[in-house]
Chains A and B, each alone.
Chain A
């Protein structure tokens, strides 16, 4: 006889267990965690647990002057900070009606493409390290470091440049910089076959990465996937071509698409983008010396600079996907409201949770790195 209020307690089956992956884990990208339910070593449920890097950017930016926010925005995405500066500056220029001089536009595109190469080299390295190929990590990070040296030469900082301001850029290029950039691009092109031997054509990578974390075209569009991850599903969508900004219409480049939609395809899409970025930078090296003029349009006193009432939505194709700022101004010295649209918050939360189901535990790190999610940008 059971009592009337008998309710059997539902226990999960004993062969299922829960595991906390991260935040203190070498396989996770940055400070981020995933709660996974496992059956054997197959994942049956994954819940992303972010918030470790939350700083409240959208609120802090409301309390700073327009020009002070230039120092704040690159901190949103650490491996790829230049698109953040560019997007914020462009949104402010749209509200304030500022014209960017042509030479400044070319310098901005140059920095954007250098930053893209840096972020992709970093991702190659991280992705290789998740499957145990540490040589590639060492090479990728070192190659990126040479680009950081050039960044330091132009902007004075390795990581957070704060170089692109509303109305232009802060300084002109140093003497002989374009020649040094050309030499570095030669060096990178010389090393690309070595990267291919070691990584892209390695049997280990192809066996481990193909068929992992597949996104179909419909899923990619409905989940909000952007950037190289979208182009790895054979969808030729690129903001540089579809919604061109700065001087991208004058530059020749291909939108790299790869079939497959798995982790290997995403890596190959990034490899193609590095080659296209080298192509863009070569055109810039050829044309920038002939473009003269100012590098910054005159700003009023930045400490007492009131923008007119208005709102703007600016978007940029960063190395992670579509980065956008929505800024509302109420005519004051500070933004009234700022919204940051980061691509990684889609990739690392909703896409990652769905891709992990059915994957095996050793593939978690690889899927996360192949999506190239950037945890500081997820949490903001």
Chain B
């Protein structure tokens, strides 16, 4: 990938800009209160990404009963708070996981389940699996072991609730702040034409988490792709014709 990608100016304002008042003391107090409430009502996305999902039914059902601590499964990513990555991720699954993660509403939390999400675990030399989860999406907590027991799952949920209450589970902000790095890793795995339907940069602007690492040479590829699709290619665009709606 070359470093000399053209910088595209005049991006349209898709979302409103953040008011100064939104970062006031009042907002911070309200956020603190909202965190306190959020920690008490969490929904886990019902997505069995790997073999760790075998320990979720015992955790949910009557023997260990996750609902005692206020955690319940949820079928759709748009209403879920926690994405539980249960075990190893093949490359095909990782695409769906990223799509699901970006569909979830902020604030959202990711828990890596088992040693496969930490360093590849048992499949450290497999050609098909992803070795480190936190290169691709930010993970708040990990559970070690293969397979973690239901007690460990409960323990990590309680720890996550503590962290949320204390305002420390901020992986989702890291995704906005360093989106370029995450996207670069994703592009290294899936190819340069990798893109998702979610406009993460616009979301970052909306939530007020636009940082230096949000946009960079990897996100420029996304913008360029969008420009091709909208026929907004500048005249002096290098080496490719205007009508070619494909990334160079």
Please state if A138 and B61 are interface contacts (CB–CB under 8 Å). Answer: yes
Of B73, B92, B93, B127, the contact of A59 (CB 8 Å cutoff): B127
Q: Which residues of A contact B230 (CB under 8 A)?
A: none
B58 at the interface (CB under 8 A from A): yes
B46 at the interface (CB under 8 A from A): yes
User: Known contacts A72-B122, A138-B61, A376-B51: does B92 contact A54 (CB below 8 Å)?
Assistant: yes
Complex CA gap A54/B51 in Å reads: 11
Please state if A159 and B55 are interface contacts (CB–CB under 8 Å). Answer: yes
The 0/1 profile, CB within 8 Å of A marked 1, for residues 125-138 of chain B is 11111000000000
User: Known contacts A24-B100, A55-B88: does B125 contact A60 (CB below 8 Å)?
Assistant: yes
Please state if A55 and B90 are interface contacts (CB–CB under 8 Å). Answer: yes
A142 at the interface (CB under 8 A from B): yes
Q: Which residues of B contact A145 (CB under 8 A)?
A: 58, 63
Please state if A52 and B90 are interface contacts (CB–CB under 8 Å). Answer: yes
Q: Which residues of A contact B32 (CB under 8 A)?
A: none
Please state if A54 and B128 are interface contacts (CB–CB under 8 Å). Answer: yes
Of A51, A137, A159, A376, the contact of B147 (CB 8 Å cutoff): A159
Q: Which residues of A contact B82 (CB under 8 A)?
A: none
Please state if A142 and B92 are interface contacts (CB–CB under 8 Å). Answer: no
Q: Which of A30, A141, A160 has the most CB of B within 10 A?
A: A141
Q: Within the complex, what minimum Cβ distance (angstroms) separates B114 from chain A?
A: 11
Please state if B63 and A141 are interface contacts (CB–CB under 8 Å). Answer: yes
B70 at the interface (CB under 8 A from A): no
A125 at the interface (CB under 8 A from B): yes
- B43-84 residues at the A interface, CB under 8 angstroms: 45-51, 53-55, 57-58, 61-63, 73, 75, 77
Q: Which residues of B contact A125 (CB under 8 A)?
A: 57
Please state if B51 and A78 are interface contacts (CB–CB under 8 Å). Answer: yes
Q: Which residues of B contact A56 (CB under 8 A)?
A: 126-128
Of B75, B122, B146, the contact of A26 (CB 8 Å cutoff): B75
Please state if A60 and B61 are interface contacts (CB–CB under 8 Å). Answer: no
Complex CA gap A25/B73 in Å reads: 12
A63 at the interface (CB under 8 A from B): yes
User: Known contacts A52-B96, A78-B54, A145-B58: does B47 contact A23 (CB below 8 Å)?
Assistant: yes
Q: Which residues of B contact A52 (CB under 8 A)?
A: 49, 90, 92-93, 96
Please state if A63 and B125 are interface contacts (CB–CB under 8 Å). Answer: yes
Please state if B123 and A24 are interface contacts (CB–CB under 8 Å). Answer: no
If A31-B93, A56-B127, A141-B57 are given as contacts, then 17 extra A-B residue pairs at C-beta distance below 8 Å, sorted by A number, are A24-B46, A24-B47, A26-B75, A30-B53, A51-B92, A52-B93, A53-B51, A53-B93, A55-B88, A72-B122, A78-B51, A78-B54, A138-B62, A141-B58, A141-B61, A141-B62, A158-B55
Closest 10 CB pairs of A and B: A78-B51, A138-B61, A141-B61, A24-B47, A52-B93, A159-B147, A141-B57, A56-B128, A54-B128, A78-B54
A contact residues vs B (CB 8 Å cutoff)? 23-26, 30-31, 51-56, 59-60, 63, 71-72, 75, 78-79, 122, 125, 137-139, 141-142, 144-145, 148, 157-160, 376, 379
Q: 12 pairs across A/B with beta carbons < 8 Å? A: A31-B53, A31-B93, A51-B90, A52-B49, A54-B92, A55-B129, A59-B127, A63-B125, A72-B122, A142-B63, A145-B63, A376-B51
